[in-house]
Amino acid sequence: MLFFLLFMAIAHQQHHVGKKLEESLMKAFVTGGSGFVGRCMITMLRNRGDEVVALARSEQTAKQVTQLGARAVLGDLLNQQAMTQGMQDCDVIFHIAGYLSSWGKYADFYKTNVVGTECVLAAAQAANVPCFVQIGASAAVFNSQPLSQIDESYPLQQPQFSPYIATKSIAEQKVIAANRPGFRTSVVRPSWIWGNGDHALPQLVKAVKTRQFVWIDQGNYPYMTTHVANVCHGAILAAERSPGGQSYFLSDGDVVQFRTWLTTLLQIAGVKPTNLSIPRWLAWNIALLVETIWTITQRQDVPPITRTMIRLIGQELTFNDSKARLELDYVPIVSRDLGLAELANFINNPSGKM
């Protein structure tokens, strides 16, 4: 019964969205289509009636995007020729693929997040695609300080402690700089993308079960999130309505206390987090020490704690998404309560167990 009610609620919301956009169906090219956000994007586009072409790095990922209803084009982000051919007659590029990790070599992040984005931009322009939307990240404006009610006027950051944040920032600059008449570019900036099938929750569950989880400052700071369906919805609206050369924060429409939010997620997943907490300044210095050890010893695995990890989820992040609401008519299509109920149903389903 719960599954039926959830299905009807989501179907009603998607029908409402489709009703507004049904006169502007698109042929879209998607990078990262086999990933968490990419799968949702392909599904949402196909439900609208759009034609979708998806870049696939392997026969396996080609099969995955084909099963979702997209036509697969074999190639990677650096294969400009394959992308240009696959983008023929497309109306929009949704660039989702990227390298997300809390640890790694700067060159690896740069190759995927920056050079890869440059190649997708070049391919789109060679194929005369008129619109380009990148799924960026709110992290592109992160430095080491808490951020409270910022908007898009807050400058992009390239902190030395985080190759991920730095390269996402550079990639966004590349996309915005490419905007010109006949080639509209825009970037949407979600925060903590969550929903059925995300990768962060299983990692957190593992951390709790292996007793590697601790709170930072008790988790007592405000935070904002973006359900995966809201991310894709906002990106589609950007393709439809952005004048170009603009970035947009996207949120679930509310502010949550981080501890409450994470505790709720973990309880849905069947685990209870510890009450153990350390101050942020201590966590930051421990992370710096651990990173130094990993660098000196040239270890290949990911450290248990990094400054990127602490910055992404260890302190306040609140922002104003009124620009997306005013320019794009963005309104979240999945509420927090509905998303959590859907997630609980997904986890309780044997096929969705972690």
Across the strands, what pairs with 28? 52, 92
pLDDT band at 217 (very low <50, low <70, confident <90, very high): very high
Residue 266 belongs to some domain of the structure: no
Sign of CA dihedral 188, 193, 194, 196: positive
The mean pLDDT of 293-301, rounded to a whole number, is 94
- Range from 18-27, 72-81, 194-203, 218-227 carrying the lowest mean pLDDT: 18-27
The mean pLDDT of 2-17, rounded to a whole number, is 43
Residue 22 has pLDDT above 90, yes or no: no
Dist CA 71 CA 61 (whole Å):
11
Residue 232 has pLDDT above 80, yes or no: yes
Residue 291 has pLDDT above 80, yes or no: yes
| pLDDT, the chain, mean | 91
Residue 247 belongs to some domain of the structure: yes
Would you give the end-to-end CA distance of the chain in angstroms? 23
Residue 229 belongs to some domain of the structure: yes
The mean pLDDT of 222-240, rounded to a whole number, is 98
For 203, residues 6+ apart whose C-beta sits below 8 A from its C-beta are none
Residue 137 belongs to some domain of the structure: yes
Which member of 99, 164, 221, 248 is catalytic?
A: 164
Sign of CA dihedral 343, 348, 349, 350: positive
Q: What is the CATH number of the domain that holds 191?
A: 3.40.50.720
Is 223 tagged catalytic? no
pLDDT value for 120: 98
Residue 239 near residue 330 (C-beta atoms within 8 A)? no
Residue 20 has pLDDT above 50, yes or no: no
Residue 71 belongs to some domain of the structure: yes
Residue 94 near residue 74 (C-beta atoms within 8 A)? no
pLDDT band at 351 (very low <50, low <70, confident <90, very high): low
Residue 131 belongs to some domain of the structure: yes
pLDDT value for 93: 98
- Summarize the chain as % helix, strand, coil (round to 5): 50, 15, 35
For 157, residues 6+ apart whose C-beta sits below 8 A from its C-beta are 140, 141, 142, 143, 165, 166, 169
Domain around 136: 2-198+225-254+319-334
pLDDT value for 12: 46
Span 181-207, pLDDT tens digits: 999 999 999 999 999 989 889 999 999
- Range from 67-71, 117-121, 208-212 carrying the lowest mean pLDDT: 208-212
Total domains, the chain = 1
Residue 216 belongs to some domain of the structure: no
Half-sphere exposure at residue 325, Cβ-oriented, CA atoms within 13 angstroms: 11
Record the tokens describing residue 297, joined without a space.
């010893």
